[in-house]
Amino acid sequence: MNQAAALEWPAADLESVPRCPVCGGDRRTLLHDGLADRVFFCAGGGWSLHRCLNCSAAFLDPRPDRRTIGKAYASYYTHSDPSVEPAAGGLRAALRNGYLNARYGYDFAPASRLGRTLAPLFAKTRSYADRSVRNLQKPGAGARLLDVGCGDGAFLAEMAAAGWDVQGIEPDPGAAAVAVARGIRVAAEPLEEAALEPESFDAVTMNHVIEHFHQPLEALRIVRGLLRPGGTVWIATPNLAAHGHAAFGRDWIGLDPPRHLVLFTRSALARALASTGFESATYASDYSAPLFFPWSATIAAREDPSDELAVARHRNRLSVLKADLVARLDQRRAESIVVSARAEPA
């Protein structure tokens, strides 16, 4: 690691990570050295990402401690979900809704019954639709949904309209205030500090959140305690084994140091889930390359990935099509891991 760069983050505000946060192993290899914040440009320092030789997860060492990590979010904003298309109207919306109603039991309108036939023929379209409800079936009366890291509450507002009793956790007070203005109940504090009733939720979702936890196993144990037996956790997180990581290396946006403290492969996340009381993990498809690739190419060009014009200049249709094909052939190389698992009965 570049020691001069590391001094930009005060040494007193760093903590060492001698063992893998996922499996506790102490055998590792250096994956990337001297990483910098080239996404939000608010976290000084150079960062080393190590890969665990036991479980294949990767983690920063050293890293900002819990007391000071907030400085890395000084100019942070929430990206849109890279695998959910913007709301569409007309026939497109009717086909999507028809598919969701048939597949998950919802009552979205307008809806065309053709959707149940046509959407499954197009893997990417089907994946986007699945992701919009986070692969959750329509709930029974009174079913409760918690979204950890709910941002501005847009997802929860849609799920409330679909029949869920919703609640969010969002430590960012600005985003939490927007969610509250939408009528969403929000605990504006970290998951570890939220006062929530045990076994009171039927589903908990974590959309690109688990990689931000210092102790992801602790977070999963808390989530397990909040779920009723047989309840569902749904997780999306950057995939360390992604084609995009292989293509862009240290410039891949999924790394995002120092906010992304722990990165997973599918096997590492499966291990984490199994060790914290979850079973029957099932993986959904992911086609995030249309955003991951131009963002990463913008970073590689030393430009700002929040600059829409810069990102547009680096949008390469052929590279995205290749990444989509790779993901279709082997979802273990998709840009994100998307998994659902059930809380084991006590």
Kindly list the structural domains of the chain, giving each domain's residue range(s) and its CATH number in brackets, ordered by start.
Answer: 3-73 (no CATH), 90-343 (3.40.50.150)
Of 99, 104, 75, which is closest to residue 85 (Cα–Cα)? 99
What percent of the chain is modeled with pLDDT above 90? 91
- Letter string b/e over residues 110-138, b meaning 16 or more CB atoms within 10 A of that residue's CB: ebbeebbebbeeeebbbbbbbbbbbbbeb
Mean pLDDT, residues 177-192: 96
- pLDDT tens for 249-290 read 999 999 999 999 999 999 999 999 999 999 999 999 999 999
- pLDDT tens for 22-52 read 999 999 999 999 999 999 999 999 999 999 9
Could you tell me how far CA 64 lies from the centroid of its own chain? 20
What percent of the chain is modeled with pLDDT above 70? 94
Decide if pLDDT at 79 tops 50: no
| CA 177, 181, 184, 185 torsion-angle sign | positive
Measured CA to CA, the distance from residue 78 to residue 269 in angstroms comes to 23
Measured CA to CA, the distance from residue 280 to residue 273 in angstroms comes to 10
Give residue 162's pLDDT. 96
Whole-model pTM? 0.94
Give residue 109's pLDDT. 94
Decide if pLDDT at 84 tops 60: no
